[in-house]
Amino acid sequence: MLKTPYSRFKWVAFFEGSSFLALLFISMPLKYLADMPLPNKVFGMLHGLLTVLYLFALIEFKLNYNVSWKEFTIFLAASLLPFGTFYAEKRWLRPIGTAYGEA
């Protein structure tokens, strides 16, 4: 499942995007509306770790596949937007995987 840079990047992107959504739509409302800061600390730390892993997986992916600097920048920017990693996976990552026989 995680044997290739493509599959590692795909899964890290999924979990990074999911953690971002959990941070925005679960833990932030709990922090500010219910005065519960602990979930925000936990999800914030998890999201931070996954963001670093996303960057490492993206670099490994770029080095092993014919990914342009434009696509690299798009994938990097996608991690900053809610739902961005999911859109980038569908729009740009799947075609690259299909071209290499991995999707």
pLDDT (0 to 100) of residue 103: 67
Residue 42: closest CA among 56, 52, 54, 28: 28
Backbone angles phi, psi at 100, to 5 degrees: -100, 10
Scanning 1-103, the segments in alpha helix (DSSP H) are 5-22, 28-33, 38-64, 69-78, 84-88, 94-99
Give me 93's structure tokens: 């990552």
Q: Sorting pLDDT into bands at 50, 70 and 90, what band is 2?
A: confident
Question: Looking at the predicted structure, is the pLDDT value of residue 17 above 80?
Answer: yes
pTM of the model: 0.92
Distance CA 6, CA 17 (A): 16
* Mean of per-residue pLDDT scores for the chain: 95
pLDDT in tens, 38-75: 999 999 999 999 999 999 999 999 999 989 999 999 99
